[in-house]
Amino acid sequence: MGSDGLLRVGGRLQNANLDYDRQHPIWLPKDHPVTKAIIVYFHIKYLHAGSQALLATSKQRYWPIGRRKFVATVINKCVRCFRMKPVTWEHVIGSLPANRVQANPSFHTTGVDYCGPFYQKAEARNKAPHKCYIAVFVCFSTKPTHLEVVHDLTTDSFIAAF
């Protein structure tokens, strides 16, 4: 019981550099009209904030019992929040191609990608490093990868790596 006659939450924050209301929030009973009015007030004051933001702002001064569920019911009953609730889109996942799901020997069907550029040090001491790339060959059926160094992005270099 606080000095003002209200039930307050005790704690270990007596030595904290906070005001009295933050050290000892007011205890609010569950499913009480005053508790609901306070939560609705904070919900509207903070522009229809979500449940986490509403909990954080109201917890600075008040401590409603069963606050997560109570805040969720207040937000679910808010007409504006219900109307503005965005519809989440479902991802349409395509079927896998036949080469991915049928048993084939390794690297029967292969995908190729490049990564880089990387700078390869020259063997001579005073020469500048030159660019090189890595060709990544990926087997579609069993997913092993093979890495091959390619010196440039020309067709001849790709055929040599292939």
Q: What is the pLDDT along the chain (162 residues), one digit of tens a residue?
A: 666 778 888 777 777 888 887 888 888 888 888 888 988 888 888 888 888 888 888 888 888 888 788 888 888 888 888 888 767 677 788 887 777 777 788 888 888 999 989 988 877 778 888 889 999 999 888 888 999 999 888 999 999 988
Please tell me whether residues 14 and 58 are part of one structural domain.
yes
Please tell me whether residues 25 and 72 are part of one structural domain.
yes
For residue 25, tell me if it sits in a domain: yes
Please tell me whether residues 80 and 141 are part of one structural domain.
no
- Can you tell me the distance from the alpha carbon of 55 to that of 63, in angstroms, rounded to the nearest whole number? 9
Please tell me whether residues 46 and 74 are part of one structural domain.
yes
Please tell me whether residues 62 and 128 are part of one structural domain.
no
- The total number of residues written for the chain in this structure: 162
Please tell me whether residues 77 and 157 are part of one structural domain.
no
Please tell me whether residues 75 and 5 are part of one structural domain.
yes
**Domain hosting residue 155, numbered range:** 106-161
- Can you tell me the distance from the alpha carbon of 78 to that of 72, in angstroms, rounded to the nearest whole number? 10
3-state class of 41 per DSSP? helix
Please tell me whether residues 6 and 84 are part of one structural domain.
yes
* pLDDT computed for residue 101 by the predictor: 77
* pLDDT computed for residue 4 by the predictor: 74
For residue 41, tell me if it sits in a domain: yes
What CA–CA distances, in Å, run from 20 to 53, 97, 129? 22, 66, 66
For residue 101, tell me if it sits in a domain: no
Please tell me whether residues 85 and 125 are part of one structural domain.
no
pTM score, two decimals?
0.49
* pLDDT computed for residue 15 by the predictor: 79
Q: Using alpha carbons, select from 24, 37, 33, 31 the residue that is nearest to residue 63.
A: 24
* pLDDT computed for residue 86 by the predictor: 66
Please tell me whether residues 116 and 56 are part of one structural domain.
no
156: Cβ–Cβ under 8 A, 6 or more apart, which residues? none
Please tell me whether residues 47 and 117 are part of one structural domain.
no
Please tell me whether residues 48 and 27 are part of one structural domain.
yes
Q: How many domains does the chain have?
A: 2
